[in-house]
C-alpha cells in the first residue's frame, strides 16, 4: 500500500489499511474480489486467523 506502484490496490479494492484480499482473475482481468475484513480482529489468535482465512477461501472457491 505504501509504495507508489501498489497504490492502485487502495483504489481497486477500496482499502483504508493493509488487508488480505481474495481476487478471482479471468482472462487476465480482475473478475471479482473480497476483502477479508476480520483479519485484524483475529491476527492475535493464530488458529482463529487461519480458520477464518481457510473458511473464506473455501467459500469463495465454492462460488466458482
Q: What is the pLDDT of residues 27-58, one digit of tens each?
A: 999 999 999 999 999 999 999 999 999 999 99
pLDDT for res 1: 72
What pLDDT does residue 18 have? 84
User: What are the φ and ψ backbone dihedral angles of 40, each rounded to 5 degrees?
Assistant: -75, -30
For the cut 90, the answer to whether the pLDDT of residue 16 exceeds it is no
What whole-number percentage of the chain has pLDDT above 70?
100
**Spacing of C-alpha 17 from chain mean position:** 12
Asked whether 39 and 31 are in contact (CB, 8 A), the reply is no
Provide the mean pLDDT of the chain.
92
Amino acid at each position: 500500500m505504501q509504495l507508489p506502484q501498489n497504490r492502485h490496490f487502495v483504489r481497486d479494492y477500496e482499502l483504508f489499511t493493509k488487508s488480505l484480499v481474495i481476487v478471482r482473475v479471468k482472462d487476465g482481468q480482475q473478475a471479482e474480489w473480497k476483502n477479508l475484513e476480520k483479519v485484524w480482529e483475529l491476527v492475535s489468535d493464530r488458529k482463529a486467523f487461519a480458520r477464518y482465512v481457510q473458511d473464506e477461501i473455501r467459500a469463495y472457491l465454492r462460488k466458482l
